Structure 1
Amino acid sequence: MPRAAAGPRPRSRGVLWKAAAPVVVVGVVVGLVILRGSGDGKDDGGAGRPPARVTPTSTLTDGAAAPSATEPPSAPAPASPALPAGYRRVVDDEGFAVAVPEGWARQVVSDGPAGEFQIDYGGSGYDDFGVGSFLRVSTVSEPDSEQSFDKARSLDGFQELAAPQPLDGEGPAGYRMEFSATWHEGAVLWYVVEIHFRASDGNLYSVAAAGREDDDLTDERELAGTALTFFCPPGGTCGDATVPQ
């Protein structure tokens, strides 16, 4: 590593020697001349030393330093994962996006104040006393995703099959509970996988998959998990897709 160029020479000590004999001064001068003449012809201001390297700095038009040439470019936004076979992605009238099985239709279960909703997607005849399965997407009014399952516990014939467990993986924070309950005035027993989660807009939502005959909940776990993966809140940007608000 080259040393920095020599700084200014210290002030001559000759100032302290004013009372010395003139011959001493002459001797010093002659010595300096001899030393100067013994070099290789270079100026002694840093003789034999390589000049300090100066790295030019590029500037932008506003005077700020330009980024380094080795600075990696900004990474593009991650693309949305591919939909599983048999699913399609819909943008609901309420503004959210979600993945539902192909051929399923939308039904409004209840509309609340602005920004609150409860929407069902189901196959043909699912609402006629439990034919088939359905997916329910709704807002959650409770402030905590774990405590918000109290509403499900109030359903007729409620039986908890698996206590609320925190979601794992790289998805949103939330909880999943599995239960059975009777709806339609006790006429139908449903097996349900319900997930409450906090979306990218900071609000709590629920996706609940309910089936009539699948008591081992295999299909319901797949349906609720797929809905969660592809859910995007109103006005949100999820992967390479933006949902209008």
Structure 2
Amino acid sequence: MRVFDTERQEWGGSRRERLFHTDQYLDVPRQKSVRQQTGIVLAVTGLAFGIWALAWKDEPEPYKDPTATQQESPETASGGTGDEVPADGSPSQDTTFESSATLPEDYESLQDIAGYRVALPKGWERESRSSQYGIDIVDYRSPDGTRRLQVFQVMETSPYSSLQAAQIEAEKLDGYEPVAMEEVPSAVGQAAEHEYRADEIAGEQGGGTRHVIDHRFEATDGERYALVAYGSEADGTEDERELVDTALLWFCPPGTQCDDPVG
């Protein structure tokens, strides 16, 4: 049976309709309370959204140092580096230049047929013989036969242990006199050097005391090599030192690509 609801000004449905639409049949005070609560929720939500929108819109840009943008040079603005040479033509104080190391006068860099690169005086003759280990033993001799640079590969596990074995044989030379035997600094791996004098060395030409610098080192390929300079003691020791140091600076092991040394 349907009845007219004077408060709601409508006809009331059956009990089954009220079970499915309970919110429509709340009394008036409770309906007002629901509307008020709903309004409060909507108002709070709108306020929060407004604050977020304003904050996002007015977010400040990242900080920039004002001194970095004050007087931008024309070169920098157009893509220049800002390191150009000043108007007077002189380079700036912090400009650095890298160039290949300069070979001593009358020296040359060459690629040996054994595969390595080395530097030595021009016009020297090459001789070689087989070795029990690694590459052939190569001797470069000066035209007059008084100076020699020997290159070979060593089998010992370290340059210093290799020199210890070689010293046993060197001590058998007539007039053997040690100058130094020690580990030395190296830009790549371990290195050691044995410097000595002897009155007679097999295969050397010319009389008088001979000066020898035997430098053994680990190269960039992880293998160990020897550079041994022989010369006369009578003309001093600087020529043997230059011979070893220059050969070492330009040495590049077989099967390896090396840039020219930087001076």
CA distance in 1, matches of 2:139, 2:191: 21
Residue of structure 1 in register with 2:230 after alignment? 210
Distance 1:153 1:190, change over 3 A: farther
Structure 1 Cα separation of the partners of residues 259 and 151 of structure 2: 20
Is 1:140 the counterpart of 2:186 in the alignment? no
* Residue-by-residue CA offset, 1:80-116 (whole Å, 9 max, x unaligned): 53322221011112111100011211112x2125733
In structure 1, the residue matched to 2:169 is 154
Q: For the structure 1 residues 134 and 185, does the alpha-carbon distance in structure 2 shift closer, same or farther, using more than 3 Å as the test? A: closer
More helix as a share of residues: 2
The answer on 1:49 being equivalent to 2:68 is: no
Residue 87 of structure 1 is matched in structure 2 by 107
User: Can you give the 5+ residue segments of structure 1 that lack an aligned partner in the other structure?
Assistant: 1-19, 53-77, 127-131
Number of positions where the alignment pairs a residue of Structure 1 with one of Structure 2: 187
Structure 2 CA distance for partners of 1:178 and 1:215, relative to 1, 3 Å: farther
Whole-angstrom distance in 2 between the partners of 1:192 and 1:215: 13
Alignment of 1:32-43 (within 5 A): 32-34=41-43
Distance 1:121 1:177 in 2: 20
Q: Offset at 1:160?
A: 1.1
One-letter code aligned to 1:202? G
Q: Give 1:167's match in structure 2, choosing from 158, 180, 185.
A: 185
Q: 2:140 aligns with which of 108, 121, 126?
A: 121
RMSD: 3.1
More strand by share: 1
1:184 equivalent to 2:202? Answer yes
CA contact (8 A) 1:164 1:178 kept: no
Deviation at 1:118, TM superposition (A): 1.2
Equivalent in the alignment of 1:10: none
Of 190-199 and 208-217, deviating more is 208-217
> 2:216 and 2:203 mapped to 1: Cα distance?
25
Contact 1:79 1:239 in 2 (8 A): no
Gaps (5+ residues) in structure 2? 1-28, 60-97
Once structures 1 and 2 are overlaid, which stretch shifts more, 137-146 or 113-122? 113-122
* Correspondent of 2:35 among 1, 26, 48: 26
Cα distance per residue 1:29-68 (max 9 Å; x no partner): 233455577x6xx96594323179xxxxxxxxxxxxxxxx
